């Protein structure tokens, strides 16, 4: 069944990929109408997330962000397919480094410092990986979850590695990073996914009690790589700018939870500045913090 779905879909995917950008965005407008107006794809999740994150905003403002989010989501979906055939020149024209990011990565390369990149699902992270691999001297590794459908997983693998990026399955992260210690590299952690509540750093994020992955912080402190926060700003439709700043050159000197708090707060600031380009349809707050009473109740019930 997986193969049937894939082979039915692949001609359409390649057709989308070769479309000129003006036609791509006309198609995206139609996809937005389907997702938002017809299907209402995860609309309840999006609206709940927005209301809880921005309690100070009116319902009219929330609805406007929601509408803009679905327009961005449709663009993001089709832009990802564009990676299959886009030229290097077009890729770098549409997703570029800011002057600050260029200076940060050049300095770290000159100092022969490998880095841990921490970022969120903001802007077009797929295009950002492509541009990074073309512009930086660091070999980029991206931590990822393999897809259940092995055929689509292979397609995504080809798209993500086309310009030189390499992928590491999440379960192999630390082992693979240790194996590449003699190489100048950057390992990207998209750190705003939902971790297990039992092994998370808990903090306030967008006005909600939120579990945060500790993986980037834990590994950074073990191998003492420079930690860089990266963000992707949407300049206009189809154009993005990558910004970066060094969080610490000495993660071993940070206290537990310090880095996780810092990069999450930095992401929150960027989301507030451009809320429509974050992944609101993700069930980010599906877990609740386990209090002492909750743990006792579970133990009693068991």
**Spatial separation of the C-alpha atoms in residues 65 and 58, rounded to whole Å:** 11
Contact between 165 and 211 under an 8 Å Cβ cutoff? The reply is no
Give pLDDT, residue 166: 97
What 3-state DSSP class applies to 91? helix
The whole-number average pLDDT for the span 59-79 is 98
Give pLDDT, residue 294: 52
- Does the residue 110 lie in any domain? yes
Residue with more model confidence, 38 or 194: 38
Contacts of 86 (CB under 8 A, 6+ apart): 17
Contact between 153 and 146 under an 8 Å Cβ cutoff? The reply is yes
The whole-number average pLDDT for the span 49-78 is 98
- Does the residue 301 lie in any domain? no
Residue 168 has pLDDT above 90, yes or no: yes
Angle (deg, nearest 10), helices 43-53 and 59-82: 120
Domain that holds residue 265: 2-277
The whole-number average pLDDT for the span 69-91 is 97
Predicted structure pTM score? 0.92
- Does the residue 291 lie in any domain? no
| Biggest alpha carbon–alpha carbon distance for the chain | 62
> 38: which 2 tokens?
């017809």
Domain tally for the chain?
Answer: 1
Q: What is the 3-state secondary structure (H, E, C) of the chain?
A: CHHHHHHHHHHHHHHHHHCCHHHHHHHHHHHHHHHHHHHCCCHHHHHHHHHHHCCCCCHHHHHHHHHHHHHHHHHHHHHHHHCCCCCHHHHHHHEEECHHHHHHHHHHHHCCCCEEEEECCECCHHHHHHHHHHHCCCEEEEEECCCCCHHHHHHHHHHHHCCCCEEEEHHHHHHHHHHCCCCCEEEEEECCCCCCHHHCEEEEECCEEEEECCHHHHHHHHHCCEEEEEEEEEEECCEEEEEEEEEECCHHHCCCCHHHHHHHHHHHHHHHHCHHHECCCCCCCCCCCCCHHHHHHHHHHC
The whole-number average pLDDT for the span 113-129 is 97
Give pLDDT, residue 300: 46
Give pLDDT, residue 1: 82
- Does the residue 243 lie in any domain? yes
**Spatial separation of the C-alpha atoms in residues 92 and 132, rounded to whole Å:** 9
Q: Which of 64, 95, 77, 80 is nearest to 30 (CA)?
A: 77
> How many alpha carbons fall within 13 Å on the CB side of residue 131?
25
User: In this predicted structure, which of 19-28, 61-70, 288-297 has the lowest mean pLDDT?
Assistant: 288-297
**Spatial separation of the C-alpha atoms in residues 83 and 126, rounded to whole Å:** 8
- Does the residue 284 lie in any domain? no
> 182: which 2 tokens?
């003699």
Give pLDDT, residue 290: 79
Q: Which of 64, 77, 90, 95 is nearest to 29 (CA)?
A: 77
The whole-number average pLDDT for the span 157-164 is 95
- Does the residue 6 lie in any domain? yes
- Does the residue 302 lie in any domain? no
- Does the residue 212 lie in any domain? yes
């Amino acid at each position: 069944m997986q193969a049937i779905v894939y082979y039915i879909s692949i001609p359409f995917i390649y057709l989308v990929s070769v479309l000129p950008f003006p036609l791509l965005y006309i198609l995206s407008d139609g996809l937005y109408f389907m997702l938002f107006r017809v299907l209402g794809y995860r609309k309840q999740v999006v609206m709940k997330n927005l209301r809880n994150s921005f309690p100070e905003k009116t319902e009219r403002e929330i609805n406007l962000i929601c509408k803009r989010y679905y327009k961005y989501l449709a663009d993001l979906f089709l832009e990802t397919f564009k990676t299959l055939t886009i030229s290097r020149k077009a890729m770098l024209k549409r997703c570029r480094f800011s002057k600050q990011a260029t200076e940060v990565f050049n300095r770290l390369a000159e100092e022969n410092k490998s880095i841990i990149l921490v970022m969120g699902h903001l802007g077009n992270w797929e295009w950002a990986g492509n541009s990074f691999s073309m512009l930086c001297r660091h070999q980029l590794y991206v931590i990822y979850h393999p897809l259940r459908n092995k055929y689509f997983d292979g397609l995504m693998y080809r798209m993500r590695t086309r310009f030189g990026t390499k992928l590491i399955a999440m379960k192999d992260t630390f082992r693979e990073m240790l194996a590449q210690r003699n190489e100048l590299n950057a390992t990207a952690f998209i750190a705003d996914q939902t971790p297990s509540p039992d092994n998370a750093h808990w903090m306030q994020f967008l006005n909600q009690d939120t579990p945060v992955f500790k993986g980037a912080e834990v590994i950074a402190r073990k191998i003492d790589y420079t930690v860089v926060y990266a963000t992707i700003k949407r300049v206009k439709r189809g154009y993005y700018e990558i910004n970066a700043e060094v969080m610490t050159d000495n993660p071993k000197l940070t206290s537990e939870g310090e880095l996780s708090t810092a990069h999450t707060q930095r992401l929150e600031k960027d989301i507030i500045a451009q809320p429509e380009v974050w992944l609101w349809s993700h069930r980010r707050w599906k877990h609740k913090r386990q209090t002492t009473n909750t743990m006792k109740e579970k133990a009693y019930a068991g």
